[in-house]
Structure 1
């Protein structure tokens, strides 16, 4: 794999993790939202990753060189279908006739763990990117 390809792959990881951190931040910001534009309580959102698609020509080149990977991207963002939390609060404007409010299925502890993990992945991709740039600089100086 060429160094420029390594830069592309780590850059795709930086972009994907940046988007994932935005999704996690949105989950935390909406953890008490009982009413969305679509109606009902906010549902936690989850990023679904996939290998970044490559062209047929790139696939042939990689197969011949026994290389894999085109980087990573977020394929889609899906709603977590785990049950919403029911909280008894008859004074809440969104309470049902029994006094229960449907609260988002966002768990702050889980979101914080996911955010720390995502931050570490983001940092790792930046480290790889910077190391690759340094190798490119040193290679150019040797010539």
Structure 2
């Protein structure tokens, strides 16, 4: 793998983790939202990623270990966890039985996702910095 491809790989990883962090932020922002029906309640979003594809349709260039170069988002799904219902007859969002329906966002799971995405992003930054230092040292050897 050429050193320039490392930047592409780490860059796609950083982009994916940035999307993941934005999704976590959106989920956490809607964690306490309520609705008048279970169907209208906010459902946690989950991103789906896949290896990058070459222009000829094949899976991205592989290094000697068989690892693909990069990742891309292929879709967003909604969590299938059940929504919670609370009896609050005085709430303006309550249905005819007095229930409001909260989101199915689990804040603890989202915080774990946020920490994981943040660390993965940091690791990709570190890969780029190390590669940059190797390239600079290689250029210094030639002069």
After TM superposition, the score normalised by the length of structure 1 is 0.87
Could you say which residue in structure 2 is the equivalent of 1:25? Answer: 25
Q: Gaps (5+ residues) in structure 2?
A: none
Aligned length: 140
* Contact 1:54–1:70 (Cα < 8 Å) also in 2: no
Could you say which residue in structure 2 is the equivalent of 1:107? Answer: 106
Q: Gaps (5+ residues) in structure 1?
A: none
What do residues 53-76 of structure 1 show as CA deviations (whole Å, max 9, x unaligned)?
Answer: 11239869x479775413012111
* Contact 1:87–1:102 (Cα < 8 Å) also in 2: yes
Task: Give 1:33 shift.
Answer: 2.1
The 1:63/1:121 distance shift into structure 2, 3 A limit, reads closer
Say if 2:80 is the partner of 1:90: no
- 1:28 and 1:57 map into 2 onto residues whose CA distance is 37
* Contact 1:41–1:102 (Cα < 8 Å) also in 2: yes
- 2:63 and 2:80 map into 1 onto residues whose CA distance is 42
* Contact 2:52–2:59 (Cα < 8 Å) also in 1: no
Could you say which residue in structure 2 is the equivalent of 1:4? Answer: 4
Could you say which residue in structure 2 is the equivalent of 1:139? Answer: 138
After TM superposition, the score normalised by the length of structure 2 is 0.87
- 1:70 and 1:16 map into 2 onto residues whose CA distance is 13
Structure with a larger share of its residues in helix: 1
What's the Cα RMSD here? 2.4
After the TM superposition, which residues 13-52 of structure 1 pair with which residues of structure 2 at under 5 Å, given as runs?
Answer: 13-35=13-35, 40-52=40-52
What do residues 86-131 of structure 1 show as CA deviations (whole Å, max 9, x unaligned)?
Answer: 1111111221222111110011111111111111111111111111
The 1:115/1:9 distance shift into structure 2, 3 A limit, reads same
